[in-house]
Chain A
Amino acid sequence: MRHTPPRVALFATCLVDLYRPTVGFAAIKLLKEAGCTVVVPEGQTCCGQPAYNSGDKADAQDIARSVIALLEPYDYVVVPSGSCGGMIREQYAALFAADPEWKLRAERLGARTFELVSFLVDVMGMTGVEARYEGMATYHDSCSGLRELGIKGQPRALLATVAGLTLAEMEDAEVCCGFGGTFCVKYPDISVRMVSDKVERIRATGADTLLAGDLGCLLNMAGRLQRLGHTVRVRHVAEVLAGMTDAVPPIGEGQARQGGAR
């Protein structure tokens, strides 16, 4: 066992910051339960992935430098997103392939950067949570988390300990939902087709709740489910694991339905 709790910087991501602050607070709660001291470094914005994936390397490098400088002082960096976590953990070093000094700093930071749920399980050794959620959920494996960071069993292991929750696996859980960052607005026809396929798979499970670890995918799937009039509740996995589902209605649902929570 550690003697001093690790100091963990929470990098909330711009989507959580803008759309779903509750995910950030859920992350703080879970990290504290796991025995961490949590800091939210001031001045954080975006990991730079939109610029990076759009070929704007210079801007991506600028943003990466400030993120690295901001997060370097902590034992760990935890991100409630496989995509943004992967950006810092795997891609920053690639971004500075031609700059040895920043490459080294990026690698050092990358080695200490984790997606939230995999950090709780793989680094902090968390085996269960004290939470209750009534429902049958299906879990979508977001691409970066799954293939870049190897996140597959960890969220399922923790979800299995949530009281009242059953997990129903969907077919093609590992197939992309069609979000893809700017892809979803650059190629909306293809994106909507992909998310429609995903919605079919979700519906086929009979689950009343859809969970995932990346807000981008969740917004995409929620938006399509709701456009088609389906009533599946969509949430970030951290909200369920932290037992904070009373704090906020499901994604894309108004306070009218939830009865003015929070």
Chain B
Amino acid sequence: MAALEQDARGRMLGRIRRGLRRGELPESVASGLVERLKAHPRNLIPARSKLPRAEQVALWKANIEKEYGTVALAASEAEIPGLVADYLASQNIPAVVRLAPDPSITSLPWHDRPLLSVAAGRAEGTDVVSVTPCFAAVAETGTMFFPSGPHHPTTLNIVPETQVVVLRQSRIVGAYEEAWDMLRREHGTVGDGPTGTRFMPRNVMLVTGPSRTADIEQTIELGAHGPRRVHVILLQDEQP
């Protein structure tokens, strides 16, 4: 099997080269392409998110609300458990919450709200609410980046009916490219792949509001398979 596939790989690459009327790329060209990968030039970033800070944050909020997300503001970490409990009560959702096993979430003063039952871990089929951190959020479209890892299992983003996201305002950026740069900076290690660096988590979900479908008569309905509600608690951690 392995030998055969090696052949298939060679044959497919060979057919591509014949179509392009050339052989394997000369080293000079190939190294230029590797350099382009390493430099990963930004192409064109729309001007809409290049704004003064306060307006950029407001644009993120307007965009996520346009996409049916909801936002509550927290002045301090201490307020967050209360905001979670109040939100769940307002929506008649059972106060049983699966927390992301991330210190920034588990260290919040959950015991201030004894009626809220919390446990940390991945989401199981029976979990109805998750609370997760957010790595970065993009003002351009309201999109939130959720890289996976031991502290942030992917199931938390997709299995429960309600996802509560704790977003630190300082993690709001203008465009997707800025979020990737943060990921490269904060997760980058030396890797043995062709570019020599490794930073991609197993899974990165870019989420822009709750799950939806327009498959019936091309009309949008929320809550197709993933969360029916995405509620963001925006922690105001920046000096105005």
Tell whether any CB of A sits under 8 Å from a CB of B in the complex: no
Which residues of B come within 8 Å of A, CB atoms? none
